Amino acid sequence: MAKIKKKVKTIKIDLDKCNGCRACEVICSAFHANPKYSSNNPARSRIRMIRDPIRDVYVPVYAGEYTPAECMGRDKYIIDGKEYDECGFCRASCPSRDAFKEPDSGLPLKCDMCEDDPPLEKPLCVQWCINDALIYEEREEEVEESVEMEDVESGLSSMIDKYGMDKIADTITRMSQKSSN
Ligand code: SF4
Ligand code: SF4
């Protein structure tokens, strides 16, 4: 089976440096507004600040894959004496919570690492985090070509099951209009 090189982009998070300012949410939602930068609304951001100021807990989480089912096991974490909620570190858009869902359509949001043409040097949330709590990293990995396509197909079919073909088709049309603007 053919192997291809894939560039993997990640954002490391340093919880100790985050002060909950939410600049990352503002710039992410503005970048993804239509037209770009025309508005900002943290509810549309692909990075969300899970915060509990009384316990001094600030957890920036950027959106990962959509999952159609709630997970079976959840854990509380205590790190350096701070207690983090069960879903605190989870990146999934899932039925259990409102995070990472487009407010109008309910469709899942996923971080796209600020894809742009020409590409940005670093994602915007990383650039806007003046506390250096977000650290951008790139690495190369070899993956099976067919596995990549299987991932796309299984993600698409679960979204069609949940939201219906019409809603998905409308969203794809809207996204393609946005990218051709
Ligand atoms: S911009 Fe940085 S410090 Fe501010 S909330 Fe986001 S991650 Fe935390
Ligand atoms: S990398 Fe870009 S798309 Fe992803 S959370 Fe940060 S600002 Fe949003």
Residue to probe by mutation, ligand 2, list 47, 48, 91, most atoms within 8 Å of CB? 47
The tens digit of pLDDT for each residue in 151-160 reads 677 677 777 7
For residue 170, the model assigns a pLDDT of: 80
For residue 62, the model assigns a pLDDT of: 96
Beta bridge partners of 79: 82
Q: What's the mean pLDDT in 118-134?
A: 97
Residue to probe by mutation, ligand 1, list 12, 15, 19, 24, most atoms within 8 Å of CB? 24
Cα–ligand 1 centroid distance for 102 (angstroms): 21
The tens digit of pLDDT for each residue in 43-94 reads 999 999 999 999 889 999 999 999 988 888 788 899 888 899 888 899 999 9
Pairing of strands 57-62, 134-144: unpaired
The tens digit of pLDDT for each residue in 104-118 reads 889 999 999 999 999
Cα–ligand 2 centroid distance for 84 (angstroms): 23
**Ligand 2, atom 8: nearest CA belongs to which residue?**
28
The pTM assigned to this predicted structure is: 0.81
Percentage, residues of the chain above pLDDT 70: 91
56 torsion bin: left (phi>0), alpha (psi -120 to 50), beta (else): left
